[in-house]
Amino acid sequence: MSFPDVRPRRLRTTPAMRRMVAEHRLHPADLILPAFVREGVSEPVPVSSMPGVVQHSRDSLRKAAVAAAGAGISGIMLFGVPEDAKKDAIGSPGTDPDGVLQVALRDVRAEVGDALVVMSDLCLDEVTDHGHCGVLDDRGRVDNDATLARYAEMALVQAEAGAHVLGPSGMMDGQIGHVRRALDAAGHQDVALLAYTAKYASAFYGPFREAVNSSLRGDRKAYQQDAPNAREALRELELDLAEGADMVMVKPGLPYLDILRRVADASPVPVAAYQISGEYAMVEAAAERGWLDRDRAIEETLTAFKRAGANLILTYWATEFAHRLTR
């Protein structure tokens, strides 16, 4: 009987051995916390489809930002949830200097300064009464170029409110270049852009709709990417880089690890992955039912992003997991 001479299992024998030869390592600095802030509430409001996630009040958001900075994560990405009565067809709360997101940006910068990279979602979906990511034309379609004008206005108020990084997420053609030119013309050359380069129309956004009190009817398939397409993501990457993107992102995460790998291989700038609401909710729901080990599943999913080439990971577990890494 012949026995193997080469035994890869030798490098798996103990925790110390596995740790020593690990090819990829997670660090708190890899992580960014997405956070929701809701107008007009004095206490955090739980998001029922995302156990452990809340719509923050101004006060609880400041505390969450301090906790995130203390855990050593790199950034916080803010999403504003205005009162429904303030939403309109053009998303007026998005360009109101006193809109909920702009107030939150000022709050967080006042609380943590530069200890966190303060990031801001730049999109109209949370602030329009129709829930789409742009301005609608007279046929009910998203008007790409009219939307770019609104994005430029939003970018200026978000930059003036203190955002270090803006995340244009609507998948409008030309959005990075249009926003970059507006920022530079207004003297905000230091504000960086995180391009949502490959953002797919996905069923996994479901819980997010609750988190932002979305008014959406229908879908976003006419402007977000189609799941069967991979080469298209590289075309979007090429355009975003040419328009001045400082960082790029793939969203969702786990269902699109192949896209993340291709983007990471081609990108000369940092690459982010967004572990979105549905991915989070699946793990939490299965763990609640005892179907999987929650802590191991979280670590495994985050490691998958790192292995696929992500430099940065947006995850609702960011602060929690950062504490685990430093224990």
Extract the tokens encoding 15. Answer: 């925790």
Catalytic residue among 63, 86, 87, 199: 199
User: What phi and psi values does residue 248 have, to the nearest 5 degrees?
Assistant: -130, 160
Extract the tokens encoding 158. Answer: 């978000």
- Give the distance, in angstroms, between the CA of residue 309 and the centroid of all CA atoms in the same chain: 16
SS3 79: strand
Neighbours of 217 (CB within 10 A): 8
Q: Give the C-alpha separation, 250 to 253, whole Å.
A: 7
Find the farthest-apart pair of alpha carbons in the chain and give their distance in angstroms, rounded: 78
Q: Give the C-alpha separation, 253 to 274, whole Å.
A: 5
Beta-sheet strands, E only, within 109-234: 117-122, 165-168, 192-199
199 is catalytic: yes
Catalytic residue among 63, 86, 87, 251: 251
CA end-to-end span of the chain: 47
DSSP category for residue 158: H
**CB contact at 8 A, 60 and 38:** no
SS3 141: coil
Q: Give the C-alpha separation, 76 to 68, whole Å.
A: 8
Neighbours of 96 (CB within 10 A): 17
251 is catalytic: yes
* Active-site residue list: 199, 251
